[in-house]
Structure 1
Amino acid sequence: MTDARHERLRRGGLAALQICVLAALYTASARAGLLQQLVRGQVTPLWPPSGIALAGLLLCGPRVWPGVALGAFLANVGLGPSLPGVLAITAGNTLAPVCSYLLLRRTGFRVELDRLRDALALIFLGAFTGMLISATTGSGTLLLAGALNTNGFWPTWSVWWTGDAMGVLVVTPVLLVLRSARWPRHVPPSRWLEALLLMAATACIGLVETGRTPLLFLGFPLLIWASFRFRLAGAAPCALAVSTFAIVSAIRGSGPFAGHDLLTKMITLQAFNASAALTALLLSAVISERNRTEREIARACRQLAGMAARISTGDRQPMLPAQESEEQEQTRQGPTPRP
């Protein structure tokens, strides 16, 4: 009884700690996201808290949703038009990642993101569908509170929705990669050199993207390089960096964003960011699936070669791989005693 009570206390303490950490990360990332605000001081083209909230739910489970709600309230309490408005926006910001989590779980989503179906689910269910809730709730609240006029509703809604969706597309994969990150062993020096070159090239592309020349497309060769050579571990951080550079360029009004109104800037920016995120996620997932298929084919070839070797040595009834595995298991367990 005492052990069970201690176990419940331990689990409750762990859940409380996870909720507090998630709320703190949500609030801190919201402060960083508001540095790029474009509408009314609280609507940004990239909202990292949405990605952090979904990643927290995927990694810790739905029990940490109070951390999302607390973080959303603390992030909006000084920005909302009124206390009821803040509570409505908080509810929308909480329901959006929770609904995305539930949709992903219904599809059998795996946090490794090593299947094409997982990448597609994160894009279309986690980002595009789930974030409709927060954008509609938030924009509608601002409209009803008089902070927006009817002409500004749809531009604000578009910025809100794409900002939340981009948070899921570029932040959530990075956090899922960090969860399973391990220090690589037995890596040749050439591999380390290639990783350093990729980071240096990303920094150089960032300088070019934030300049006056419209050269945003130079980020796509980096994404392809990172996806092919490092899969999601390289593609996700690279997509985040490329998108951040594009946002900085849009805020400054430089490059392809010079001389355009807000709506045109947002269409250009989010089309680029979505293309970058889709390229990184889909290509890395396809490469992971290809590598896994190659390993399965190689294993099947080794099994067939073993069967052929038994036939050539006189064993006319070679065992199938499943039978061979069963016999090996019985050998490890020892002979079955007779009654």
Structure 2
Amino acid sequence: MATVVRTRDRRRVVVYGFQVLAVAACYYAAGRLGLLRQLAVGDAVFTPIWPPTGVALAALFVFGLRCWPGIALGALLVIMSLTALRPAALGNVAGNTAAPLCAYLMLRRTGFRTGLSRLRDGVALVFLGALAAMLISSTVGVGTLVLTGRLGADGFWPVWLAWWVGDAMGVLLVTPALLLLAGAHRAPDLARWKEALVLAAVAGGVVPLATHSGISLLYLVYPLLIWAALRFQLAGSVLCALFASVLATVAATDGTGPFAGLTRTEVMFKLQAFNGSMALTSLLLSAVIIEQHNTRRSVERACQELVEVLEHLTAGEAPPGRAPVDGDGPPGPPGRR
């Protein structure tokens, strides 16, 4: 028996080690992907979307709090890939680890559901998971730059704002997509696939036009988001918003399309306003639609149960689950009372 227990404990340790390494690898890969596109604000360079924050928060919901060493290890690997390891880097690692941890704890405290099936879940992810929790990573990260002399005090607020919005966009755009992927159980039917392919084809033509045209056509993305949310709920709207955000980020960092001729600060504000409004639209609209569908299904079930009860009563039978009482059933032949 002792041998069996030790084997199980060893297996748990091995599984836990693989989970931590997997989280670290995904965090590092997301970080390298995010660093492909950068913008300069003041004396610092930042990424408009920082995917590792979304990866970290999704990993916490999938594996639990025990995977936090993987987040810290991934953040350390990203920093080491950019610069030599210094004591100040530990502050960035701490901030990048603490921010998703606080987001996870706050969301769990509010009863957050990873399926984002309620409006309150979308609101909580936006305001607690993204906007509030990411204040930690941005404040710690930019504060470390100022304290170490790598950034002047007068450049604190522009860089802090860019850092905060980039981390928040990572949560708003990446976390829902990963939670959706982790919770997928079955593929949609053939009819849904046909409409999904049509939507993908339309998005493949409209989104590049909207994000790279010299005429400001970014508003063309919103009808696609509404279509995706109405027909495919969270899956469609989140993927559509992520696709549009990636192409808009490419256009912004290249200085083309609607971002041509703007200063770096103007590009940052315009891009993040577009990304933020898309993320809010996709999350909140799909949450409202899912909530309405769930309410309708509940009403339909209640009506069906009521119809069944009425049918039994009309037939003179006791409804299912209720024992017959005096007076139930058809009258018997006359006899003694």
1:196 aligns with 2:197: yes
- In the other structure, the counterpart of 2:170 is 167
Matched-pair contact (CA < 8 Å) for 1:170–1:240: yes
Matched-pair contact (CA < 8 Å) for 1:81–1:147: no
Matched-pair contact (CA < 8 Å) for 1:34–1:41: no
Q: Distance in 2 between matches of 1:33 and 1:306?
A: 56
Matched-pair contact (CA < 8 Å) for 1:80–1:86: no
Residues 289 and 324 (structure 1), Cα distance of their counterparts in 2 relative to 1, 3 Å cut: farther
Question: Unaligned stretches of 5+ in structure 1?
Answer: 326-339
> Structure 2 residue aligned with 1:69, among 69, 72, 77?
72
Q: Distance in 1 between matches of 2:171 and 2:45?
A: 18
Matched-pair contact (CA < 8 Å) for 2:213–2:258: no
Q: Return the letter of the residue paired with 2:298.
A: E
Matched-pair contact (CA < 8 Å) for 1:50–1:168: yes
- In the other structure, the counterpart of 2:92 is 89
- In the other structure, the counterpart of 2:10 is 9
- In the other structure, the counterpart of 2:182 is 179
> Structure 2 residue aligned with 1:55, among 31, 55, 58?
58
Max Rg structure: 2
- In the other structure, the counterpart of 2:327 is none
1:135 aligns with 2:138: yes
The offset of 1:80, in angstroms, is 4.9
How many positions carry a matched residue from both structures? Answer: 319
Q: Distance in 1 between matches of 2:121 and 2:133?
A: 15
State the Cα deviation string for residues 51-100 of structure 1 (Å, max 9, x = none). Answer: 00000011100101001000101101243586012111111001000110
Q: Return the letter of the residue paired with 2:205.
A: C
Which consecutive aligned stretches of 4+ in structure 1 deviate over 6 angstroms post-superposition? none
- In the other structure, the counterpart of 1:37 is 38
Q: Return the letter of the residue paired with 2:101.
A: V
Which deviates more from structure 2 when the two are superposed, residues 78-87 or residues 260-269?
78-87
Question: Unaligned stretches of 5+ in structure 2?
Answer: 324-337
Q: Return the letter of the residue paired with 1:282.
A: L
1:205 aligns with 2:217: no
Q: Distance in 2 between matches of 1:310 and 1:82?
A: 76
Q: Distance in 1 between matches of 2:285 and 2:262?
A: 32
1:269 aligns with 2:275: no
SS of the residue 1:213 aligns to: coil
RMSD: 1.8
Q: Distance in 1 between matches of 2:240 and 2:33?
A: 19
Q: Distance in 2 between matches of 1:265 and 1:222?
A: 23
Residues 153 and 54 (structure 1), Cα distance of their counterparts in 2 relative to 1, 3 Å cut: same
TM-score by length of 1: 0.89
- In the other structure, the counterpart of 2:222 is 220
